[in-house]
Structure 1
Amino acid sequence: MQCREPEDLQAALADATCRAMREAVITLPPDVKRAIEKARAGEKSSVARGEYGNIAQNILAAERLRVPLCQDTGVPVVYLTLPPSVPYSQALFDAVADGIRRATQEIPLRPNVVDPLTRHNSGDNTGVGMPAIHVRPGEKFTVTVLPKGAGAENVSRVVMLLPSQTGKIKEIVVETMLIAGGRPCPPVVLGVGIGGTFDGVTALAKEALLQPIDQMTEFEQQLCDAVNTLGIGPMGLGGSTTALAVKVKTAACHTASLPVAVNVQCWANRHATVEVEW
């Protein structure tokens, strides 16, 4: 087998990151499209049906014109899956950042990343801690991107419950959406993290958004049904579907705590995975 230089890996990862971002911001995953169509078919409100019509036109126009689904192309959240043959090094992070810079210029993406205090915009969606990169082991070398817009991110929430308060999880999920109202551009997808630690539970909630949304466990369906009793509906204008799905990801936690996080995502639950070839 021919040996490959580290530069080959970096170039391949940068290219895969750019391609994944392009796919994510332009084309919705099939399961998301199916969930939207199912909600549209079951909607009785004429106003809500009209909003679903607008969403459908939005999806088709983005695919036809090869432009982003939304002007808020989000901040880049990236998941790297590394097989044993890929060395873990700073070069991986540099390559992902290069891919995001390329995507920002070529797609193009709106430059959203700023310094939290000075509000200085980097102009290329990179900066300290950006893109947010999560690394995990796996059999294939892949890059997954999850562009996260601010409208939905800003109404997300983390709560530290007591271990005796498992019955409050549903209440927290529903209350989060009640407070959010129409701001996150519903119908939403809710990623719910349960367990872990204060910082880890938020990562669980966000990663839950990567799971297929056209199938839910009994618990997830219960949470989704509870949210849909709110009647917020598409774009907050009323309707039977406020949440397309609720997806839950759990982790073991301390015996004295019960962290719960809700990461809100708009109807455009954008994400894409590309295998890195090198």
Structure 2
Amino acid sequence: MRIIKYEDIVRVVSILCQEANYYLGEDVLEAIKKSREQEESPLGVTILDQLIENAKIAREEHIPMCQDTGFAVFFVEVGQDIHIEGGILDDAINEGVRQGYTEGYLRKSIVGHPLERENTGDNTPAIIYTSLVAGDKMKITVAPKGGGSENMSSIMMLKPSQGVEGVKKFVVDTVDQAGSNPCPPIVVGVGIGGTMEKAALLAKQALLRPLDRHHDDSSIAELEEELLDKINKLGIGPQGLGGRTTALAVNIEIFPVHIASLPVAVNINCHSARHKTIIL
């Protein structure tokens, strides 16, 4: 049995929250640079150049790449041979968020009651998804999720008879209706299968996959490419001002499904596709 101390989790979570907001992943940055070379709109090229410069400034000066520093969403894999000493995992993560968002001067965006709308003042509580895995390691991933892109996400319970064509239509229509609101170029996470809530979770998890890696299933990888092509032909472009770079990637995750169901979820992320992982 391996011991991991409560305070060590607090410390690394605090660091993760800050670094995720300061440092854009290399896969995302490379995708923006690649899109910049392919963009035909002069205005689109200028915007993509500004995004590249923005990421550089954020990294060098240790400041948030976006003013919306997001809802702190965590995916945690806990080895079954681990014992947490000194407190509860969720409490440690929330304390780390509290410290990280305060020390890092990150905007606090969370209200404690969805209708009364009073800010909690420290960006807690976090959203935490925990899974038990083999071994004695703990993998913590934080994915700060901005409100603007989250608001453009959607889920649909399709009929099985609608099949893959129904999936394609729903995904493309969702992006088309979102327009400029999620700050394109976007990353599109798609979840297919499971139940309603499972599809939504799959869509968010899909956003964590590196943008230069397709799904292991070749048919799903082909669907990712086809959807990306369709989306970029919409002409929405960088920041919605026209061009061929509406999305940087489409990532799909799938799960077995009931014979009577075909749930599909789309979780959109803005160009600041932030996530950071550490293994304890």
TM-score, normalised to structure 1, is 0.93
Question: 3-state DSSP class of the match of 1:261?
Answer: strand
> Which one of 122, 125, 132 corresponds to residue 123 of structure 2?
125
Q: Distance in 1 between matches of 2:243 and 2:213?
A: 21
CA RMSD of aligned residues (A): 1.5
Number of aligned residue pairs: give it. 269
C-alpha offsets along residues 1-29 of structure 1, whole Å, 9 cap, x if unaligned?
Answer: 9x75xxx5211111111111111111111
Equivalent in the alignment of 1:49: 45
1:135 maps to amino acid: T
> Which one of 17, 21, 33 corresponds to residue 21 of structure 1?
17
CA contact (8 A) 1:82 1:142 kept: yes
CA contact (8 A) 1:19 1:274 kept: no
* 2:228 is aligned with 1:230: no
Equivalent in the alignment of 2:77: 81
> Which one of 161, 184, 190 corresponds to residue 182 of structure 2?
184
> Which one of 133, 137, 147 corresponds to residue 150 of structure 1?
147
Q: Distance in 2 between matches of 1:203 and 1:141?
A: 20
* 2:103 is aligned with 1:112: no
Q: Distance in 2 between matches of 1:137 and 1:48?
A: 44
CA contact (8 A) 1:16 1:275 kept: no
> Which one of 35, 53, 63 corresponds to residue 59 of structure 2?
63
C-alpha offsets along residues 216-253 of structure 1, whole Å, 9 cap, x if unaligned?
Answer: 32111011111111010000001111010000011111
C-alpha offsets along residues 119-175 of structure 1, whole Å, 9 cap, x if unaligned?
Answer: 01100111xxx3110112344312100000011000100000011111210111110
1:65 maps to amino acid: E
Question: 3-state DSSP class of the match of 2:257?
Answer: coil
Q: Percent identity?
A: 42
Of Structure 1 and Structure 2, the greater strand share is in: 2
Equivalent in the alignment of 2:253: 249
Question: 3-state DSSP class of the match of 1:186?
Answer: coil
Q: Which runs of 5+ in 1 are unaligned?
A: none
Equivalent in the alignment of 2:198: 200
* 2:223 is aligned with 1:219: yes
Question: 3-state DSSP class of the match of 1:136?
Answer: strand
> Which one of 156, 161, 165 corresponds to residue 162 of structure 2?
165
2:259 maps to amino acid: T
Q: Distance in 1 between matches of 2:89 and 2:5?
A: 8
> Which one of 3, 9, 34 corresponds to residue 30 of structure 2?
34
TM-score, normalised to structure 2, is 0.93
Equivalent in the alignment of 2:131: 136
1:102 maps to amino acid: Q
Question: 3-state DSSP class of the match of 2:53?
Answer: helix
C-alpha offsets along residues 156-202 of structure 1, whole Å, 9 cap, x if unaligned?
Answer: 00000011111210111110011000010000000000001111111
> Which one of 231, 248, 272 corresponds to residue 268 of structure 1?
272
C-alpha offsets along residues 93-142 of structure 1, whole Å, 9 cap, x if unaligned?
Answer: 0000000000111112111010201101100111xxx3110112344312
2:53 maps to amino acid: Q
How far has the Cα of 1:215 moved from its partner? Answer: 3.0
Q: Distance in 1 between matches of 2:62 and 2:279?
A: 21
